[in-house]
Amino acid sequence: MKLLRLALPVYVELLTAVVAVGLIDLFWVSGLGSQAVAAVTVATTAEYLALGVILAVQTGTTVLVGRRDGREPTQPVIRTAWLLWAATSLAVAVPGVLLREPLARLFTADAVTAGLTAGFFLVSLAGIPVFFAQSLVDGIFKGHGDTTTPMRTALLCNALVIGLDPLFIYGLDLGIQGAAAATVLGRTVTLAVALTLLTRRTPRARTARANRADAVDIVRTGLPMAGDFLARSIVGMALVEVVGGFGVVALAGYGIGTKIMLAGVMAFYALRQAALIQTARSGDAGPALRYGLATGLIVAVALNAVAAPVAGLFTGDPAVATEVVSFLRWMTLYLVPFGGLISVGGVLQASGKGSRLLTATLAGFAVQLPLAYALGTALGLTGVWLAMAAGTALTLTLVTGPARRGGSLPAAPALRPPHSPAEE
């Protein structure tokens, strides 16, 4: 039950931080026309991909802080993480701002949409350091076993963006750049609050120094998670191309279906983070695999129950609605193993076995994509959905196979006895 208590706040945080901000911006810019909506869609998608860069630092920091909290000083790890934050922020923000126009043209051939996207990038990519800093602060809180504070700050950020968006977009007549500015400002205020809370929890230690060994450990621990994230993003884009070959109706149904499914899938990622935190802090995440499989089944049943009425909320086209419902029905075969896979990923990451997860993920995708083309040709869209399920089932088998032969999932490295607070 401790795993579930950790996971629930993370689920709320993910829904608000990952999903809601982009939807809020889309809602408010919708009055500016379809090209503005397309520009925000492109820009927020690019920002989501950039998250993969800081994910390595965030995840590695969470694991190392969790292992050391109460056992040895955590300040050296935290200071090292901030240096890595600075490096990754500059590596993304500076070239992103300077190359914003060619970057925008990579995503769209429409000149007006590309211009609007570049304008959004000018503000949003300049604000990437704030976005990355908030991600790192959340990771530090989670390393200390606190998933409630990141949830609360995510809710605060959403409330600020809801209020600032109409003021900047329409009140100050900044248009699409106003949406980007409102988001950056909302995140900046939220970051200030989060840093204040973090400082109170982890007072500065004058003797703490950043060091190369901690930097290597952070990157080595977090890199497989970032690789897994980026691999899934790339394969997701490839599937869009595959489904697009079946026509606009099929693509629209797939797009709506994935957005609906995302609300359920976030539960898996919440379990993953909870398993990562608990494994790092105690060495044992409990029945993470069983929880993941059970959650996958629950999400699949829930999506089947609401498929038809929820599809009607997103489209008035009966043909598109039919594709949405069909997609969600077939996803039952995908969601159950996917829930187990994502949940187990947190255990592997915290126990230093993240490379096993990344290797299995790449192997699954190596089977899934060719199978999607082959079965898609033979069975239509049903074949694509079956390929998704088969690839995920294979990945789960590769990940859990060694654990079954050994009797259990790997545990975290041996934890040292608690240290005196005076040591820090």
Residue 419 included in any domain: no
In the prediction, which pLDDT does 137 show? 95
Shared domain for 29 and 177, answered yes or no, is yes
Considering only the C-alpha atoms of the chain, give the largest distance between any 2 of them, rounded to a whole number of Å.
Answer: 67
Sign of CA dihedral 147, 151, 153, 157: positive
The set of long-range contacts for 281-286, using a CB threshold of 8 Å and a minimum separation of 24, is 281/66, 281/67, 281/69, 281/145, 282/412, 282/415, 283/411, 283/412, 283/413, 283/414, 283/415, 284/411, 284/412, 285/3, 285/346, 285/347, 285/350, 285/409, 286/2, 286/3
Q: What integer is the mean pLDDT of 356-361?
A: 88
Domain ranges, residue 7: 2-210
From 47-51, 64-68, 395-399, the region with the lowest mean pLDDT = 47-51
Q: What integer is the mean pLDDT of 193-202?
A: 88
Cα 144 from Cα 83, distance rounded (Å): 20
Q: What angle do CA 364, 369, 372 make, to 5 degrees?
A: 115
Q: Dump pLDDT digits (tens) for 330-351.
A: 999 999 999 999 999 888 888 8
pLDDT above 90: residue 126: yes
Shared domain for 167 and 236, answered yes or no, is no
pLDDT above 90: residue 247: no
Q: What angle do CA 31, 36, 40 make, to 5 degrees?
A: 115
Shared domain for 162 and 255, answered yes or no, is no
Residue 254 included in any domain: yes
Cα 207 from Cα 209, distance rounded (Å): 6
294 confidence band (pLDDT: 50, 70, 90): very high
Shared domain for 231 and 331, answered yes or no, is yes
Residue 393 included in any domain: yes
Q: What integer is the mean pLDDT of 88-115?
A: 86
Shared domain for 254 and 350, answered yes or no, is yes
SS3 label, residue 30: helix
Tell me what the pLDDT averaged over the chain comes to: 84
Overall domain count for the chain: 2
Q: What's the pTM?
A: 0.81
204 confidence band (pLDDT: 50, 70, 90): low
Q: What integer is the mean pLDDT of 263-287?
A: 85
Shared domain for 262 and 355, answered yes or no, is yes
Share of the chain above pLDDT 70, in %: 90
Cα 43 from Cα 385, distance rounded (Å): 28
Q: What integer is the mean pLDDT of 156-179?
A: 90
Of 183, 210, 237, which residue is a domain's last? Answer: 210
| Residue with the larger pLDDT of the pair 201 and 327 | 327
In the prediction, which pLDDT does 402 show? 58
| Residue with the larger pLDDT of the pair 290 and 253 | 290
In the prediction, which pLDDT does 264 show? 87
Q: What integer is the mean pLDDT of 323-327?
A: 90
Shared domain for 15 and 97, answered yes or no, is yes
Shared domain for 234 and 192, answered yes or no, is no
Shared domain for 312 and 391, answered yes or no, is yes
Name which of 184, 182, 204 is nearest 192 in CA terms: 184
From 214-228, 247-261, 302-316, the region with the lowest mean pLDDT = 247-261
Of 150, 184, 210, which residue is a domain's last? Answer: 210
User: What is the 3-state composition of the chain as percent helix, strand, coil, each rounded to the nearest 5?
Assistant: 85, 0, 15
Residue 422 included in any domain: no
Of 184, 210, 236, which residue is a domain's last? Answer: 210
In the prediction, which pLDDT does 397 show? 93
Residue 215 included in any domain: no
Residue 380 included in any domain: yes
pLDDT above 70: residue 207: no
Highest mean pLDDT among 19-23, 183-187, 197-201, 277-281: 183-187
From 85-94, 192-201, 245-254, the region with the lowest mean pLDDT = 245-254
Residue 312 included in any domain: yes
Residue 90 included in any domain: yes
420 confidence band (pLDDT: 50, 70, 90): very low
Shared domain for 105 and 165, answered yes or no, is yes
Q: What integer is the mean pLDDT of 84-103?
A: 91
Q: Is residue 118 within 8 Å of residue 37, measured between CB atoms?
A: no
Shared domain for 228 and 206, answered yes or no, is no
Residue 166 tokens, joined: 């109409």
Share of the chain above pLDDT 90, in %: 36
Q: Dump pLDDT digits (tens) for 14-54.
A: 877 665 666 677 678 767 776 777 777 777 777 777 888 88
Shared domain for 230 and 201, answered yes or no, is no
